[in-house]
Structures are given as C-alpha cells and as structure tokens.
Amino acid sequence: MDLLNTLVDKGLRREMPTREEALAVLATSDDDVLDVVAAAGKVRRHWFGRRVKLNYLVNLKSGLCPEDCSYCSQRLGSKADILKYTWLKPDQASQAAAAGVAGGAKRVCLVASGRGPTDRDVDRVSDTIRTIKEQNEGVEVCACLGLLSDGQAERLRAAGADAYNHNLNTSEATYGDITTTHTYADRVDTVHKAHAAGLSACSGLIAGMGESDEDLVDVVFSLRELDPDSVPVNFLIPFEGTPLAKEWNLTPQRCLRILAMVRFVCPDVEVRIAGGREVHLRSMQPLALHLANSIFLGDYLTSEGQAGKSDLEMIADAGFEVEGTDRVTLPEHRAAGGCGSQEAAGCGPHEGGACGSHDGSGCGSHESGGVCGSADLPRAEEPRTDLVAVRRRGAGTDLAPNA
C-alpha cells in the first residue's frame, strides 16, 4: 500500500505526515489492519527495538475531585463506587512503589486527584519522591498532580522528579464538551511549565469519547507540536456512575489503527498503551506491542488491570523484552536534548481532575470473570462491561497490590 510505504519512510526520517495521511490510517479497513500494524511496527523497531518499558501507578490521593471531567471516576458528582482516601504517607507510597519496581517497572508515576497542588501538596509529594528514590535504587519518578502554578515544577524537579504528566485528552475544538471547570489552554500551559523546569514532559490523549477521526488527528498533531517525550494513549473505560458510561465506541481493530497513527505522527517518542487496553484491545494486546514501546504494569488508579504476571508473559510470548534500568528509553537525539535521559524519559497518563486521563477510571481485569464457555461470551459488537472492575487492592487498602 503506497500510503503505508510513504508513512514508514517518513517515520524513519522523523518527517511529519500530512493530516490527510494520518486520517487515511484511521480510515483503513479491518482487512488491512495487519498491514497497518506491520508498517508502523517498522518505525517502532527502528527507534526502540523490541524493548517494552514498564511503568507503575501509585494513586496518592483517590476520589473527591472538584473538576468535572466527564470520563473520570473521581470527578465532581461521580457515582462510581471507587476507593476514596486522602494522601498516602511517604513510606506508604514508597512501599507501593516497591511492588511495581519488583515486578519490573523502571518508572513510578505518582498521581493525586484534584485541580492542582497547593504549595503544601508540593512539599508533601516532594517528601514522597525523596523517600521513593532513597528506598528504590535506580527508579524513575513522574508526578501527575494537575494544573501547576508558577515555580511548582521547579520544586518537584529539585526534589528528584524526572517527569511530569498532564494530558491534552482530546482536541481543542471539543475540549469544552468533556470538561468545563478548566480549559484546554490550562493543560497546554502546564505542559510548558514542565518543559521549562527541565522535567521530561508527558502528555497524551483519550480515545473513544465520541470524538471524530479529525479530533483524534488534531490532538495528536497538537501533541507533536508540544513535543513531549512520552505520549500515553488511553482508551475510554465507560465507568458506571460517570457521564460517559454508555460510550462504547471502540473495537480492537480501531484501537490498533489509533496507535499506529500516533506512532506515525510521533515516530521517535515513547508511545504508551495506557488505560483501557485490557477492555478494548483484549486478546489483541500483543499486536499493540508492535506499535507502542511502553505499558503500565498491573492495576491502574481506580480500576483493575491485567495481572502483572500476565503482562510479563504477554511481552515475552510476543517476542519483546522488558527494558532494564541500564537502558535509555528514548533515541540518542532526543535524550541529548535534556528531557529524554534514562532519568527523565517520560511518564504515564493519569486520571485525577485536571491532571487526568482516564486510565484509572475502570481498566478491566481478565481475572475476575474466570473461564467461560463460548456460549457465554458477548458478541464482538457488544459492550464488554464484564471487563470493568473497580480496584480494591494496593494503595489505600490493606491488600497487596497487583504488580
């Protein structure tokens, strides 16, 4: 297919596709999806080999957010039956982080619900960052605390943070349809603040909220312009008790096309499969590893993920390898720019007010349903509500985390 050959050539040269080419990737048929994966996989392997970076989420403060992000289980007015708790103590957060590091994660992402941190919150998170770094040798730490005020990014960096996550989530044109308590421009400003402070900027999107192909291309092109080191791709989990609970718009093939488009537009950036991979990619998750070079290990913020052991088995069975702490995630030309070193190689997506992605709002577990007969399986076009499960273990509970 001439389109795919053109996009591979551009990806190897770090040349921007046209909007028409990006839209054409999303418009390809299910019959062509393997060709699309194979083409984007060439670009992925050129820049990242067969390495998969593992990231681990620690939800420092869960629920009761004053923002109204429609996709989020922690939003104002959410009726989702999620865990709700206030700030974890530094030792509690470090203990949770250690479980992820033991499971193979090289990056720990610290998330807190809310519009943005107070100066006291920044002090609290700074203490947590220092504790994690002292107790977990070689770990990278990313913070995701919402909208930043002047000077806060610098303080997090001084405490040892390597990265800051703040997602754009959707196109500027449709942003007001999903959130009214802050603006798209607020989000862009926080990404700029992270960059300016020397933090590795991480910013991504949520697919499946009813957006058009044009919206998806718009937000990915905006992300390329912002030039984050990491672009997490979330797939909406329609969590009961949120305004988007009935939005089931994705198929595994659609998710693969979206990931391929992101890879073509951002060829040399860490592309992370984030919330919703278990629910929407399902048995086609291994194919997505040919497109993305990063995933989360185990559970998410307010929802269960695939068992950490299953994640590791999937990576090995697909012919990939877990990226060790001795490897720099980003290509040399990006790492040399000051944001992409091993210590600052990008972070993951998170839900939580203005910080938000939706990855913690209900990422389904494959364990809860057990093994069922074919007669019990939903048809492909039916919503897989059976794969959405609230997190009941790990941070904020007395139960061991899933890592």
Question: What string of DSSP letters covers 132-158?
Answer: HHHHSTT-EEEEE-SSPPTTHHHHHHH
Q: With respect to residue 92, please indicate whether it lies within any of the assigned structural domains.
A: yes
Q: Which two tokens stand for residue 324?
A: 């060790």
Q: Looking at the chain, how many residues does it have?
A: 403
Alpha-carbon distance 98 to 104, whole Å?
10
Q: With respect to residue 15, please indicate whether it lies within any of the assigned structural domains.
A: yes
- Tens digit of pLDDT for each residue in 147-160? 999 999 999 999 99
Number of other residues whose CB lies within 10 A of the CB of residue 92: 16
346 pLDDT higher than 60? no
372 pLDDT higher than 70? no
Amino acid identity at 123:
D
Give the annotated binding-site residues. 65, 69, 72, 109, 142, 202, 272
Give the annotated binding-site residues for [4Fe-4S] cluster. 65, 69, 72
Q: In this predicted structure, what is the pLDDT of residue 360? A: 41
Q: Which two tokens stand for residue 148?
A: 């930043």
For the residues 286-296, what does the mean pLDDT come to?
98
Q: In this predicted structure, what is the pLDDT of residue 401? A: 80
CB 124 within 8 A of CB 87: yes
The residues annotated as belonging to the active site are 65, 69, 72, 109, 142, 202, 272
Q: Of 231, 256, 281, 312, which is closest to residue 47 (Cα–Cα)?
A: 231
Q: In this predicted structure, what is the pLDDT of residue 379? A: 56
- Tens digit of pLDDT for each residue in 30-46? 999 999 999 999 999 99
Amino acid identity at 207:
A
Q: In this predicted structure, what is the pLDDT of residue 339? A: 43
**Phi first, then psi: what are they for 390, rounded to 5°?**
-75, 140
Per the structure, how many domains does the chain have?
A: 1
**If DSSP codes are grouped into helix, strand and coil, which group holds residue 61?**
strand
Q: With respect to residue 337, please indicate whether it lies within any of the assigned structural domains.
A: yes
For the chain, the average pLDDT equals: 87
Give the annotated binding-site residues for [2Fe-2S] cluster. 109, 142, 202, 272
The distance in angstroms from the start CA to the end CA of the chain is 41
> Domain span at residue 50?
2-355
Domain with residue 14: its CATH number is 3.20.20.70
Q: In this predicted structure, what is the pLDDT of residue 3? A: 97
Q: Which two tokens stand for residue 249?
A: 């718009």
pTM of the model: 0.88
Name 375's Cβ contacts closer than 8 Å, sequence gap at least 6.
none
306 pLDDT higher than 70? yes
**What is the DSSP pairing of strand 163-165 with strand 107-112?**
unpaired
Q: Which two tokens stand for residue 325?
A: 């702490």
Residues of the chain with pLDDT > 90, as a percent, come to 69
349 pLDDT higher than 70? no
For the residues 286-290, what does the mean pLDDT come to?
98
Alpha-carbon distance 72 to 116, whole Å?
15
Alpha-carbon distance 317 to 309, whole Å?
12
Q: With respect to residue 387, please indicate whether it lies within any of the assigned structural domains.
A: no
Q: With respect to residue 78, please indicate whether it lies within any of the assigned structural domains.
A: yes
**17-20 long-range contacts, CB within 8 A, separation 24+:** 17/264, 17/265, 19/217, 19/221
